[in-house]
């Protein structure tokens, strides 16, 4: 999956502007804050009791005024399927 994402970024001319990280969000650290963080299709895999920590971590990694884009699938149903 990571290789496909890198090829897509390269095709779009954005490879030098972006980073891709496949890591447990609780263990992720970075020396410099980010101007933008994009999380696509990940939030629905975060256990409910870890959601607050997920959002706090994302905002801690942002520069002041930075942008966090979080795209996920949601449902109003309580069914697990």
Q: What is the pLDDT of residue 15?
A: 84
Q: What is the band of 17 on the pLDDT scale with cuts at 50, 70, 90?
A: confident
Tokens representing 8 are 């897509």
Residue 5 has pLDDT above 90, yes or no: no
Q: Chain-wide mean pLDDT for the chain?
A: 88
The backbone torsions φ and ψ at residue 30, rounded to the nearest 5 degrees and listed phi first, read -145, 140
Domain boundaries along the sequence of the chain: 17-81
User: Pick from 25, 21, 78: which is nearest to 52 by CA?
Assistant: 25
Highest mean pLDDT: which of 21-30, 41-50, 60-69? 60-69
Q: Would you call 48 helix, strand, or coil by DSSP? A: helix
Q: What is the band of 20 on the pLDDT scale with cuts at 50, 70, 90?
A: confident
């Amino acid at each position: 999956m990571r290789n496909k994402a890198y090829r897509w970024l390269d095709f779009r001319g954005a490879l030098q502007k972006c980073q891709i990280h496949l890591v447990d969000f609780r263990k992720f650290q970075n020396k410099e804050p980010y101007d933008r963080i994009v999380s696509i299709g990940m939030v629905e895999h975060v256990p409910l009791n870890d959601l607050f920590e997920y959002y706090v971590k994302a905002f801690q990694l942002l520069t002041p005024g930075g942008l966090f884009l979080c795209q996920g699938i949601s449902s109003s149903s309580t069914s697990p399927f």
